[in-house]
Amino acid sequence: MNKAVKLLVVIVVIFAIWKYGIPWFNEHIKTGSEPTKVAGPGDSRTCAQYAERASNTWGSGLGRFVNPPYDVAAWGAFRSQVTEAIGLAEAQCLCAEEGCRKVREAMGDLRSLVDEMDNAIRNGTRPPSDAVQRQERIDNMIEAAKGR
């Protein structure tokens, strides 16, 4: 009986850590890979971090939608995710620095590319033929904004 009570206590403690401790830790402890600001304008470095995240979101998920037939529901969810990431980057890029200006331009280009791809997928037309070059230009503008 004593072992059963100890086991029950251990299970309750593990459950409490999993249910309450881990979410609290994730919410209150920042990692070095994430930008420190969540909303409001930042400097060009923070702006570029958010822009890079938006560009990476686009680049990492686009491969699922290269060839037909397209899963329009999955595309809609992916497009929303990318559009949200672009919006977060734009919100961080309201500063007057040259880097913020470059990133705003890059995010405008990315938004345009997403819209053109959306049009192609929904209408069954060919995707933009210069999409790779445009993505490279966007990434180069973000890198330039980071000062590298």
Supply the range of the domain harboring residue 14. Answer: 1-30
Return the CATH number at 94. 1.20.120
pLDDT in tens, 105-118: 999 999 999 999 99
Domain co-membership, 26 together with 76:
no
Domain co-membership, 2 together with 75:
no
Domain count, the chain: 2
Q: Which residue has the higher pLDDT, 15 or 68?
A: 68
Model pLDDT, residue 23: 65
Confidence grade of residue 7 (pLDDT, cut at 50, 70, 90): low
pLDDT in tens, 59-85: 999 888 888 888 899 999 999 999 999
Please give the Cα distance from 145 to 112 (Å, whole number): 20
